[in-house]
Protein backbone atom coordinates (compact mmCIF):
# COMPACT_ATOMS: atom_id res chain seq x y z
CA UNK A 1 0.00 0.00 0.00
CA UNK A 2 1.27 3.47 -0.87
CA UNK A 3 0.43 6.68 0.95
CA UNK A 4 -0.70 8.81 -2.02
CA UNK A 5 -1.58 7.83 -5.58
CA UNK A 6 -1.36 10.73 -8.03
CA UNK A 7 -3.04 10.55 -11.43
CA UNK A 8 -1.22 12.80 -13.89
CA UNK A 9 2.47 13.57 -14.41
CA UNK A 10 2.17 17.11 -15.69
CA UNK A 11 3.76 19.98 -13.76
CA UNK A 12 1.00 19.88 -11.12
CA UNK A 13 1.24 16.17 -10.35
CA UNK A 14 5.02 16.18 -10.41
CA UNK A 15 5.28 19.16 -8.06
CA UNK A 16 2.82 17.51 -5.69
CA UNK A 17 4.84 14.30 -5.78
CA UNK A 18 8.03 16.16 -4.89
CA UNK A 19 6.30 18.05 -2.07
CA UNK A 20 5.15 14.76 -0.56
CA UNK A 21 8.55 13.16 -0.93
CA UNK A 22 10.15 16.05 0.98
CA UNK A 23 8.11 14.73 3.90
CA UNK A 24 9.05 11.08 3.14
CA UNK A 25 5.52 10.23 2.05
CA UNK A 26 5.36 7.26 -0.32
CA UNK A 27 4.01 8.33 -3.71
CA UNK A 28 3.02 6.55 -6.91
CA UNK A 29 2.36 8.73 -9.97
CA UNK A 30 0.58 7.20 -12.98
CA UNK A 31 0.58 8.89 -16.38
CA UNK A 32 -0.81 7.70 -19.70
CA UNK A 33 1.80 9.52 -21.79
CA UNK A 34 5.06 7.65 -22.22
CA UNK A 35 7.03 10.91 -22.52
CA UNK A 36 6.63 14.48 -21.22
CA UNK A 37 4.38 16.76 -23.26
CA UNK A 38 5.82 17.45 -26.71
CA UNK A 39 4.23 20.88 -27.15
CA UNK A 40 4.36 23.53 -24.48
CA UNK A 41 0.81 24.59 -23.76
CA UNK A 42 2.08 26.69 -20.86
CA UNK A 43 4.88 29.13 -21.55
CA UNK A 44 4.76 31.59 -18.65
CA UNK A 45 6.11 31.19 -15.13
CA UNK A 46 4.84 33.98 -12.91
CA UNK A 47 6.54 35.53 -9.84
CA UNK A 48 4.62 33.58 -7.20
CA UNK A 49 5.53 30.25 -8.78
CA UNK A 50 9.18 31.35 -8.88
CA UNK A 51 8.91 32.16 -5.18
CA UNK A 52 7.68 28.60 -4.53
CA UNK A 53 10.56 27.20 -6.55
CA UNK A 54 12.95 29.37 -4.54
CA UNK A 55 11.43 28.15 -1.25
CA UNK A 56 12.41 24.63 -2.24
CA UNK A 57 15.81 25.62 -3.66
CA UNK A 58 15.06 24.81 -7.30
CA UNK A 59 14.56 28.23 -8.91
CA UNK A 60 18.05 28.61 -10.39
CA UNK A 61 17.63 26.13 -13.24
CA UNK A 62 14.57 28.01 -14.42
CA UNK A 63 16.14 31.42 -14.00
CA UNK A 64 19.33 30.41 -15.78
CA UNK A 65 17.54 29.26 -18.93
CA UNK A 66 14.32 31.29 -19.05
CA UNK A 67 13.70 34.61 -20.75
CA UNK A 68 12.87 37.39 -18.28
CA UNK A 69 10.32 40.00 -19.33
CA UNK A 70 9.55 42.71 -16.73
CA UNK A 71 5.91 42.90 -17.73
CA UNK A 72 2.67 41.01 -18.18
CA UNK A 73 -0.63 41.73 -19.84
CA UNK A 74 -4.28 41.83 -18.89
CA UNK A 75 -6.63 40.87 -21.70
CA UNK A 76 -3.82 41.37 -24.24
CA UNK A 77 -4.07 45.13 -23.75
CA UNK A 78 -1.30 46.98 -25.54
CA UNK A 79 -0.36 48.83 -22.32
CA UNK A 80 1.59 46.22 -20.38
CA UNK A 81 1.60 45.72 -16.61
CA UNK A 82 4.91 46.69 -15.02
CA UNK A 83 6.02 43.78 -12.84
CA UNK A 84 9.02 45.78 -11.59
CA UNK A 85 6.69 47.51 -9.12
CA UNK A 86 5.83 44.21 -7.39
CA UNK A 87 7.24 43.34 -3.98
CA UNK A 88 8.99 40.10 -4.88
CA UNK A 89 12.52 38.84 -5.58
CA UNK A 90 11.25 37.94 -9.08
CA UNK A 91 9.63 41.05 -10.59
CA UNK A 92 9.21 39.64 -14.08
CA UNK A 93 7.48 37.11 -16.28
CA UNK A 94 9.73 34.15 -17.08
CA UNK A 95 9.17 32.62 -20.51
CA UNK A 96 9.94 28.92 -20.10
CA UNK A 97 8.40 26.08 -22.16
CA UNK A 98 6.19 23.60 -20.33
CA UNK A 99 8.04 20.71 -21.94
CA UNK A 100 11.25 21.74 -20.14
CA UNK A 101 9.35 22.48 -16.92
CA UNK A 102 7.96 18.94 -16.91
CA UNK A 103 11.37 17.39 -17.47
CA UNK A 104 12.91 19.36 -14.61
CA UNK A 105 10.07 18.58 -12.22
CA UNK A 106 10.00 14.90 -13.17
CA UNK A 107 13.73 14.57 -12.60
CA UNK A 108 13.33 16.22 -9.21
CA UNK A 109 10.38 14.03 -8.20
CA UNK A 110 12.26 10.88 -9.17
CA UNK A 111 15.44 12.02 -7.42
CA UNK A 112 13.41 12.52 -4.24
CA UNK A 113 12.06 8.98 -4.55
CA UNK A 114 8.69 9.30 -6.24
CA UNK A 115 7.58 6.23 -8.20
CA UNK A 116 6.59 7.76 -11.57
CA UNK A 117 4.97 5.16 -13.84
CA UNK A 118 4.55 6.38 -17.41
CA UNK A 119 2.42 4.37 -19.79
CA UNK A 120 0.03 3.65 -16.91
CA UNK A 121 -3.56 4.91 -16.95
CA UNK A 122 -5.96 5.21 -14.05
CA UNK A 123 -9.12 3.35 -15.11
CA UNK A 124 -11.21 3.43 -11.95
CA UNK A 125 -10.98 3.37 -8.17
CA UNK A 126 -13.11 2.53 -5.15
CA UNK A 127 -12.93 4.15 -1.75
CA UNK A 128 -12.57 1.86 1.24
CA UNK A 129 -12.73 2.55 4.95
CA UNK A 130 -9.03 3.38 5.10
CA UNK A 131 -8.11 4.42 1.56
CA UNK A 132 -8.67 3.71 -2.11
CA UNK A 133 -8.11 0.76 -4.42
CA UNK A 134 -7.35 1.78 -8.00
CA UNK A 135 -7.33 -0.12 -11.29
CA UNK A 136 -4.37 0.80 -13.45
CA UNK A 137 -4.01 -0.18 -17.12
CA UNK A 138 -0.51 -0.55 -18.52
CA UNK A 139 0.47 0.32 -22.10
CA UNK A 140 0.31 -3.37 -23.09
CA UNK A 141 -3.33 -3.58 -21.97
CA UNK A 142 -2.70 -5.55 -18.79
CA UNK A 143 -4.06 -4.24 -15.50
CA UNK A 144 -2.86 -4.08 -11.93
CA UNK A 145 -4.14 -2.66 -8.65
CA UNK A 146 -2.65 0.08 -6.50
CA UNK A 147 -3.99 0.70 -3.02
CA UNK A 148 -3.36 4.04 -1.36
CA UNK A 149 -4.42 6.06 1.64
CA UNK A 150 -5.31 9.03 -0.58
CA UNK A 151 -5.69 9.71 -4.29
CA UNK A 152 -4.97 13.05 -5.97
CA UNK A 153 -6.40 14.03 -9.34
CA UNK A 154 -3.87 16.09 -11.27
CA UNK A 155 -5.14 14.65 -14.54
CA UNK A 156 -6.50 17.66 -16.38
CA UNK A 157 -9.90 19.03 -17.30
CA UNK A 158 -11.20 15.58 -18.26
CA UNK A 159 -10.07 14.21 -14.88
CA UNK A 160 -10.89 10.55 -14.29
CA UNK A 161 -10.37 11.09 -10.56
CA UNK A 162 -12.94 13.89 -10.43
CA UNK A 163 -15.48 11.94 -12.48
CA UNK A 164 -15.07 8.70 -10.51
CA UNK A 165 -15.35 10.61 -7.25
CA UNK A 166 -18.67 12.07 -8.41
CA UNK A 167 -17.51 15.67 -8.01
CA UNK A 168 -19.51 18.00 -10.25
CA UNK A 169 -17.74 20.38 -12.64
CA UNK A 170 -20.29 23.10 -13.48
CA UNK A 171 -19.60 26.06 -15.73
CA UNK A 172 -19.99 27.31 -19.27
CA UNK A 173 -19.19 25.77 -22.64
CA UNK A 174 -16.85 27.42 -25.12
CA UNK A 175 -18.24 30.21 -27.25
CA UNK A 176 -14.95 31.99 -28.02
CA UNK A 177 -12.14 30.26 -29.88
CA UNK A 178 -8.49 31.12 -30.25
CA UNK A 179 -5.70 29.95 -32.54
CA UNK A 180 -2.05 29.30 -31.73
CA UNK A 181 1.17 28.41 -33.53
CA UNK A 182 4.86 28.15 -32.67
CA UNK A 183 6.71 29.35 -35.75
CA UNK A 184 9.94 30.85 -37.06
CA UNK A 185 9.75 34.50 -38.16
CA UNK A 186 11.81 36.40 -40.69
CA UNK A 187 10.27 39.73 -39.63
CA UNK A 188 9.64 39.49 -35.87
CA UNK A 189 8.17 42.44 -33.94
CA UNK A 190 10.64 44.84 -32.37
CA UNK A 191 9.15 44.40 -28.85
CA UNK A 192 9.15 41.12 -26.85
CA UNK A 193 5.43 41.25 -26.04
CA UNK A 194 3.76 42.45 -29.22
CA UNK A 195 0.00 42.95 -29.13
CA UNK A 196 -2.45 44.00 -31.81
CA UNK A 197 -6.20 44.55 -31.57
CA UNK A 198 -8.65 46.01 -34.04
CA UNK A 199 -12.05 45.18 -35.45
CA UNK A 200 -10.24 42.63 -37.65
CA UNK A 201 -9.26 40.59 -34.58
CA UNK A 202 -6.63 40.26 -31.87
CA UNK A 203 -3.11 38.78 -31.87
CA UNK A 204 -0.05 38.54 -29.65
CA UNK A 205 3.52 37.55 -30.55
CA UNK A 206 6.05 36.45 -27.92
CA UNK A 207 9.57 35.04 -28.31
CA UNK A 208 10.37 31.47 -27.29
CA UNK A 209 13.71 30.50 -25.72
CA UNK A 210 14.49 28.21 -28.68
CA UNK A 211 14.40 31.07 -31.19
CA UNK A 212 10.88 30.49 -32.45
CA UNK A 213 7.92 32.73 -31.66
CA UNK A 214 4.47 31.90 -30.35
CA UNK A 215 1.61 33.68 -32.08
CA UNK A 216 -1.85 33.53 -30.57
CA UNK A 217 -4.93 35.16 -31.97
CA UNK A 218 -8.69 35.46 -32.00
CA UNK A 219 -10.26 35.79 -35.44
CA UNK A 220 -13.85 37.10 -35.44
CA UNK A 221 -14.46 35.10 -38.62
CA UNK A 222 -13.62 31.85 -36.79
CA UNK A 223 -15.99 31.84 -33.84
CA UNK A 224 -17.74 28.55 -34.50
CA UNK A 225 -16.31 25.20 -33.38
CA UNK A 226 -14.34 23.80 -36.31
CA UNK A 227 -13.73 20.09 -36.56
CA UNK A 228 -10.35 18.73 -37.56
CA UNK A 229 -6.82 20.05 -37.32
CA UNK A 230 -5.95 23.66 -38.04
CA UNK A 231 -3.73 23.89 -41.11
CA UNK A 232 -0.71 26.18 -40.99
CA UNK A 233 -1.80 27.98 -44.16
CA UNK A 234 -5.15 28.70 -42.53
CA UNK A 235 -3.42 30.06 -39.46
CA UNK A 236 -1.06 32.27 -41.46
CA UNK A 237 -3.92 33.67 -43.54
CA UNK A 238 -5.90 34.44 -40.40
CA UNK A 239 -3.01 36.35 -38.77
CA UNK A 240 -2.41 38.22 -42.03
CA UNK A 241 -6.08 39.21 -42.08
CA UNK A 242 -5.99 40.35 -38.44
CA UNK A 243 -2.67 42.21 -38.37
CA UNK A 244 -2.17 43.12 -42.01
CA UNK A 245 1.05 41.08 -42.03
CA UNK A 246 2.26 37.58 -41.19
CA UNK A 247 5.72 38.49 -39.79
CA UNK A 248 7.34 36.19 -42.33
CA UNK A 249 6.22 33.10 -40.43
CA UNK A 250 7.43 29.69 -41.57
CA UNK A 251 8.50 26.27 -40.27
CA UNK A 252 5.72 25.70 -37.70
CA UNK A 253 6.40 23.23 -34.89
CA UNK A 254 2.88 23.35 -33.49
CA UNK A 255 -0.50 24.67 -34.65
CA UNK A 256 -3.62 24.40 -32.49
CA UNK A 257 -7.04 25.76 -31.49
CA UNK A 258 -8.50 26.32 -28.05
CA UNK A 259 -11.73 27.58 -26.45
CA UNK A 260 -12.97 29.46 -23.41
CA UNK A 261 -14.97 26.78 -21.59
CA UNK A 262 -14.89 27.73 -17.91
CA UNK A 263 -15.62 25.28 -15.10
CA UNK A 264 -14.92 24.96 -11.37
CA UNK A 265 -15.22 21.79 -9.30
CA UNK A 266 -17.89 22.01 -6.61
CA UNK A 267 -15.25 20.86 -4.12
CA UNK A 268 -11.50 20.28 -4.30
CA UNK A 269 -11.64 17.44 -1.77
CA UNK A 270 -14.06 14.69 -0.83
CA UNK A 271 -13.31 11.75 1.42
CA UNK A 272 -9.94 10.31 0.36
CA UNK A 273 -9.89 12.32 -2.89
CA UNK A 274 -8.26 15.68 -3.69
CA UNK A 275 -8.07 17.66 -6.94
CA UNK A 276 -5.47 20.15 -8.17
CA UNK A 277 -4.81 22.10 -11.36
CA UNK A 278 -7.03 21.72 -14.41
CA UNK A 279 -8.84 18.82 -12.76
CA UNK A 280 -10.30 21.43 -10.41
CA UNK A 281 -10.60 24.45 -12.72
CA UNK A 282 -10.57 25.11 -16.46
CA UNK A 283 -10.64 28.44 -18.27
CA UNK A 284 -9.45 30.45 -21.27
CA UNK A 285 -5.62 30.68 -21.22
CA UNK A 286 -5.62 34.45 -20.68
CA UNK A 287 -2.49 35.81 -19.05
CA UNK A 288 -0.70 32.46 -18.90
CA UNK A 289 -1.86 31.71 -15.36
CA UNK A 290 -3.26 28.15 -15.58
CA UNK A 291 -0.13 26.08 -14.92
CA UNK A 292 0.97 28.55 -12.25
CA UNK A 293 -2.26 28.28 -10.27
CA UNK A 294 -2.10 24.49 -10.63
CA UNK A 295 1.43 24.32 -9.19
CA UNK A 296 0.30 26.63 -6.39
CA UNK A 297 -2.63 24.24 -5.75
CA UNK A 298 -0.15 21.38 -5.44
CA UNK A 299 2.02 23.46 -3.10
CA UNK A 300 -0.97 24.04 -0.82
CA UNK A 301 -2.14 20.43 -1.01
CA UNK A 302 1.20 18.71 -0.45
CA UNK A 303 1.85 19.70 3.15
CA UNK A 304 -1.77 19.14 4.16
CA UNK A 305 -1.78 15.64 2.67
CA UNK A 306 1.54 14.93 4.37
CA UNK A 307 0.13 16.12 7.71
CA UNK A 308 -2.89 13.86 7.20
CA UNK A 309 -0.78 10.81 6.34
CA UNK A 310 1.49 11.30 9.37
CA UNK A 311 -1.42 12.07 11.74
CA UNK A 312 -0.24 15.61 12.43
CA UNK A 313 -3.73 16.75 11.40
CA UNK A 314 -7.09 14.97 11.02
CA UNK A 315 -7.48 14.03 7.33
CA UNK A 316 -10.94 15.53 6.91
CA UNK A 317 -9.92 18.82 8.50
CA UNK A 318 -6.71 19.05 6.49
CA UNK A 319 -8.46 18.53 3.16
CA UNK A 320 -11.35 20.81 4.10
CA UNK A 321 -8.87 23.61 4.73
CA UNK A 322 -7.22 22.93 1.36
CA UNK A 323 -10.62 23.13 -0.34
CA UNK A 324 -11.60 26.29 1.54
CA UNK A 325 -8.41 28.13 0.60
CA UNK A 326 -7.69 26.98 -2.91
CA UNK A 327 -11.24 26.81 -4.30
CA UNK A 328 -11.61 30.52 -3.53
CA UNK A 329 -8.43 31.10 -5.57
CA UNK A 330 -9.92 29.02 -8.40
CA UNK A 331 -13.11 31.08 -8.39
CA UNK A 332 -11.08 34.30 -8.58
CA UNK A 333 -9.07 32.77 -11.44
CA UNK A 334 -12.21 32.09 -13.47
CA UNK A 335 -13.56 35.58 -12.81
CA UNK A 336 -10.30 37.12 -14.01
CA UNK A 337 -9.94 35.02 -17.14
CA UNK A 338 -13.59 35.51 -18.08
CA UNK A 339 -13.17 39.29 -17.73
CA UNK A 340 -10.06 39.15 -19.90
CA UNK A 341 -11.87 37.08 -22.49
CA UNK A 342 -14.57 39.74 -22.73
CA UNK A 343 -11.84 42.29 -23.51
CA UNK A 344 -9.96 39.97 -25.84
CA UNK A 345 -12.84 38.82 -28.00
CA UNK A 346 -14.92 41.96 -28.59
CA UNK A 347 -14.17 43.71 -31.88
CA UNK A 348 -16.98 46.23 -32.33
CA UNK A 349 -16.26 50.00 -32.06
CA UNK A 350 -17.59 50.26 -28.50
CA UNK A 351 -15.32 47.44 -27.32
CA UNK A 352 -12.31 48.99 -29.02
CA UNK A 353 -13.12 52.23 -27.16
CA UNK A 354 -13.16 50.27 -23.90
CA UNK A 355 -9.73 48.82 -24.69
CA UNK A 356 -8.41 52.31 -25.41
CA UNK A 357 -9.74 53.57 -22.08
CA UNK A 358 -8.25 50.66 -20.13
CA UNK A 359 -4.89 51.19 -21.85
CA UNK A 360 -4.97 54.83 -20.76
CA UNK A 361 -5.94 54.00 -17.18
CA UNK A 362 -3.18 51.41 -16.79
CA UNK A 363 -0.65 53.92 -18.11
CA UNK A 364 -1.87 56.80 -15.94
CA UNK A 365 -2.92 55.06 -12.70
CA UNK A 366 0.07 53.13 -11.29
CA UNK A 367 -2.04 51.57 -8.52
CA UNK A 368 -4.34 49.97 -11.12
CA UNK A 369 -1.35 48.52 -12.93
CA UNK A 370 0.10 47.17 -9.65
CA UNK A 371 -3.23 45.66 -8.61
CA UNK A 372 -3.73 43.86 -11.91
CA UNK A 373 -0.08 42.74 -11.94
CA UNK A 374 -0.35 41.33 -8.40
CA UNK A 375 -3.53 39.47 -9.37
CA UNK A 376 -2.02 38.07 -12.56
CA UNK A 377 1.24 37.04 -10.89
CA UNK A 378 -0.42 35.26 -7.96
CA UNK A 379 1.15 37.60 -5.41
CA UNK A 380 -2.21 38.93 -4.19
CA UNK A 381 -3.35 35.62 -2.67
CA UNK A 382 -3.97 35.90 1.06
CA UNK A 383 -5.88 33.25 2.97
CA UNK A 384 -8.64 34.05 5.50
CA UNK A 385 -7.40 34.91 9.00
CA UNK A 386 -9.25 34.65 12.32
CA UNK A 387 -10.76 37.80 13.78
CA UNK A 388 -8.18 39.79 15.74
CA UNK A 389 -5.22 38.01 14.13
CA UNK A 390 -2.02 39.87 13.35
CA UNK A 391 -2.19 41.61 9.92
CA UNK A 392 0.45 39.25 8.53
CA UNK A 393 -1.64 36.12 9.11
CA UNK A 394 -2.78 34.51 5.86
CA UNK A 395 -0.37 36.51 3.74
CA UNK A 396 2.69 35.15 2.03
CA UNK A 397 6.06 35.89 3.60
CA UNK A 398 7.99 37.78 0.93
CA UNK A 399 11.42 36.75 2.22
CA UNK A 400 12.40 33.17 1.43
CA UNK A 401 12.72 31.09 4.60
CA UNK A 402 15.36 28.42 4.20
CA UNK A 403 13.67 26.11 6.70
CA UNK A 404 10.61 25.57 4.54
CA UNK A 405 12.73 23.64 2.06
CA UNK A 406 11.80 20.60 4.12
CA UNK A 407 8.07 21.39 3.65
CA UNK A 408 7.68 21.77 7.42
CA UNK A 409 6.48 24.85 9.32
CA UNK A 410 9.12 27.24 10.61
CA UNK A 411 8.94 29.44 13.72
CA UNK A 412 10.89 32.67 13.30
CA UNK A 413 11.55 33.94 16.83
CA UNK A 414 13.45 37.05 17.97
CA UNK A 415 14.71 35.51 21.24
CA UNK A 416 16.22 32.15 22.22
CA UNK A 417 13.57 29.55 22.95
CA UNK A 418 13.46 27.83 26.32
CA UNK A 419 14.28 24.16 26.25
CA UNK A 420 10.77 22.87 26.98
CA UNK A 421 9.27 24.90 24.13
CA UNK A 422 12.05 23.91 21.74
CA UNK A 423 11.48 20.25 22.58
CA UNK A 424 7.72 20.61 22.07
CA UNK A 425 8.23 22.24 18.69
CA UNK A 426 10.63 19.49 17.64
CA UNK A 427 8.00 16.93 18.60
CA UNK A 428 5.47 18.78 16.48
CA UNK A 429 7.98 18.79 13.62
CA UNK A 430 8.23 22.58 13.55
CA UNK A 431 11.63 23.99 12.65
CA UNK A 432 12.94 27.14 14.28
CA UNK A 433 15.10 29.98 13.07
CA UNK A 434 16.24 33.25 14.67
CA UNK A 435 15.08 36.58 13.33
CA UNK A 436 16.27 40.14 13.89
CA UNK A 437 12.71 41.49 13.75
CA UNK A 438 10.75 42.22 16.94
CA UNK A 439 8.03 39.80 15.91
CA UNK A 440 7.54 36.06 16.08
CA UNK A 441 6.14 34.42 12.95
CA UNK A 442 4.96 30.86 12.39
CA UNK A 443 5.41 30.20 8.67
CA UNK A 444 3.40 27.45 7.03
CA UNK A 445 5.18 24.99 4.71
CA UNK A 446 3.74 26.87 1.73
CA UNK A 447 5.28 30.18 2.82
CA UNK A 448 2.08 31.79 4.13
CA UNK A 449 1.95 33.10 7.71
CA UNK A 450 -0.03 30.91 10.11
CA UNK A 451 0.44 33.10 13.20
CA UNK A 452 2.37 36.19 14.24
CA UNK A 453 2.77 38.26 17.39
CA UNK A 454 4.95 41.04 18.75
CA UNK A 455 7.86 39.70 20.75
CA UNK A 456 6.27 40.56 24.10
CA UNK A 457 3.14 38.60 23.21
CA UNK A 458 4.96 35.58 21.83
CA UNK A 459 4.68 33.54 25.03
CA UNK A 460 5.27 29.79 25.07
CA UNK A 461 1.52 29.31 25.59
CA UNK A 462 0.67 31.52 22.60
CA UNK A 463 3.19 29.72 20.39
CA UNK A 464 1.94 26.33 21.55
CA UNK A 465 -1.65 27.31 20.81
CA UNK A 466 -0.64 28.50 17.33
CA UNK A 467 1.13 25.24 16.55
CA UNK A 468 -1.83 23.23 17.84
CA UNK A 469 -4.18 25.22 15.62
CA UNK A 470 -1.98 24.51 12.61
CA UNK A 471 -1.41 20.86 13.56
CA UNK A 472 -4.18 19.61 15.86
CA UNK A 473 -2.74 16.10 15.94
CA UNK A 474 0.77 17.12 16.95
CA UNK A 475 0.14 17.64 20.64
CA UNK A 476 2.65 15.04 21.85
CA UNK A 477 4.77 14.96 18.72
CA UNK A 478 4.02 11.26 18.25
CA UNK A 479 2.02 11.10 15.03
CA UNK A 480 0.83 7.58 14.27
CA UNK A 481 1.32 7.66 10.51
CA UNK A 482 4.33 5.84 9.17
CA UNK A 483 4.73 7.17 5.65
CA UNK A 484 6.35 3.88 4.69
CA UNK A 485 3.82 2.13 2.47
CA UNK A 486 4.70 0.61 -0.88
CA UNK A 487 2.71 0.36 -4.09
CA UNK A 488 1.33 -3.07 -4.95
CA UNK A 489 0.95 -4.65 -8.36
Residue 226: band (very low, low, confident or very high) from pLDDT cuts 50, 70, 90: low
pLDDT tens per residue, range 448-466: 999 999 988 999 999 999 9
pLDDT tens digits, residue range 390-418? 999 999 998 766 667 889 999 999 988 88
For residue 210, the model assigns a pLDDT of 83
Torsion of CA 394, 398, 399, 400, to 10 degrees: 80
What sections of 365-454 are H helices per DSSP? 366-377, 419-427
For the chain, what is the mean pLDDT? 92
What is the domain class of 177-259 according to CATH?
alpha beta
CA distance 139 to 119: 5
Is 19's pLDDT higher than 50? yes
Q: How far apart are CA 381 and CA 375, in angstroms?
A: 8
- For the segment 41-85, what is each residue's pLDDT rounded down to a tens digit? 889 999 999 999 999 999 999 999 999 999 999 999 999 999 999
Q: Bridge-partner residues for 269, per DSSP?
A: 274
Is the pLDDT at 24 greater than 70, yes or no? yes
Q: Which residues are CB-neighbours of 141 under 8 A, at least 6 positions away?
A: none
- The Cα-based distances of 316 to 168, 175, 319, 374, 456 in angstroms read 19, 38, 5, 32, 35
The pLDDT assigned to 413 comes to 92
Q: What is the domain class of 2-172+262-377 according to CATH? A: alpha beta
Distance separating alpha carbons of residues 91 and 444, to the nearest angstrom: 23
* Cβ 295 vs Cβ 12: under 8 Å: yes
CA atoms within 13 A on the CB side of 173: 2
Query: pLDDT digits over 271-314, tens only?
Result: 999 999 999 999 999 888 999 999 999 999 999 999 999 999 99
pLDDT value of residue 476: 36
Q: Within 147-288, where are the H helices?
A: 160-165, 232-243
Tens digits of residue pLDDT in 464-486: 999 999 999 886 333 333 343 43
In three-state secondary structure terms, 78 is coil
Over range 165-178, report the average pLDDT.
95
Is 176 within 8 Å of 260 (Cβ atoms)?
yes
56-to-75, 467, 483 alpha-carbon distances in Å: 32, 22, 21
Q: Which CATH architecture has domain 386-489?
A: 3-Layer(aba) Sandwich (3.40)
Task: Tell me the C-alpha to C-alpha distance, in Å, between residue 185 and each of 66, 230, 270, 427, 458.
Answer: 20, 19, 49, 59, 60
Q: Reduced to 3 states, what is the DSSP secondary structure of residue 417?
A: coil
Domain locations along the chain: 2-172+262-377, 177-259, 386-489
Specify whether the CB–CB gap between 265 and 167 falls below 8 A: yes
Q: Is the CB of residue 83 less than 8 Å from the CB of residue 47?
A: yes
Position 141 pLDDT exceeds 80? yes
Amino acid sequence: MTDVLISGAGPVGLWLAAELRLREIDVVVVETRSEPVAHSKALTIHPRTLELFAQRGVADEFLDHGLRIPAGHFGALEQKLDFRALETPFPFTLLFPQERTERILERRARDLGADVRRGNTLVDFDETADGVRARIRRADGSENAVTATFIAGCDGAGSTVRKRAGIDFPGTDADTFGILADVSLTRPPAVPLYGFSAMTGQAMVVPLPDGQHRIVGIDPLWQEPIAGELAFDEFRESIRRICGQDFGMHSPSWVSRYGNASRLATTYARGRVALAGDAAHMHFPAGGVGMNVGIQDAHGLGWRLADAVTALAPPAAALQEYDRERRAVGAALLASTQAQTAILAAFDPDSQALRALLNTLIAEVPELSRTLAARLSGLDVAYPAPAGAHPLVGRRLVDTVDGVRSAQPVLLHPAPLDRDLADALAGARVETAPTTHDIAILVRPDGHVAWAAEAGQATPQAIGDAVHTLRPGAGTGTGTGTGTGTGTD
